[in-house]
């Protein structure tokens, strides 16, 4: 399984992974989040400023993790390919169920 996180530049990563709550009102945020989570939870997130701040912090951590992967972990291997000793696709699929 390929993890696209490594291939995204900063703009692509932001478009793919960041909740743009500063550009949208609560109803728009709730509509976006309701596509992949319980609408009640989406409403709570859309109306909670502290949760939005947590999501921003999580996105910043995602960017930092990507940089660590690129410059520390994968640099030692000399390749962008990581071979996992588990069936990562199945684990992700099971988590979605």
Q: Is the dihedral of CA 45, 63, 77, 82 positive or negative?
A: positive
pLDDT digits 0-9 by tens, 12-57: 888 888 888 777 788 888 888 899 899 999 999 889 999 989 989 9
Q: What is the DSSP string of 17-79?
A: H---TTSS-HHHHHHHHTTTS-HHHHHHHHT-HHHHHHHHHHHHHHHHHHHHIIIIIHHHHTS
Tell me the average pLDDT of the chain.
81
Q: What is the pLDDT of residue 43?
A: 92
Is residue 1's pLDDT more than 50?
no
User: Distance between alpha carbon 83 and the CA centroid of its chain, in Å?
Assistant: 21
pTM of the model: 0.64
């Amino acid at each position: 399984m390929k993890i696209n996180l490594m291939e995204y530049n900063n703009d692509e990563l932001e478009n793919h992974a960041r909740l743009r709550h500063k550009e949208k009102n609560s109803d728009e945020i709730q509509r976006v989040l309701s596509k992949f989570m319980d609408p009640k939870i989406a409403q709570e997130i859309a109306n909670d400023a502290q949760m939005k701040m947590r999501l921003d912090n999580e996105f910043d951590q995602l960017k930092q993790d990507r940089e660590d992967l690129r410059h520390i972990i994968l640099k030692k291997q000399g390749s962008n390919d990581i071979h996992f000793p588990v069936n990562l696709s199945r684990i992700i699929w099971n988590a979605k169920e």
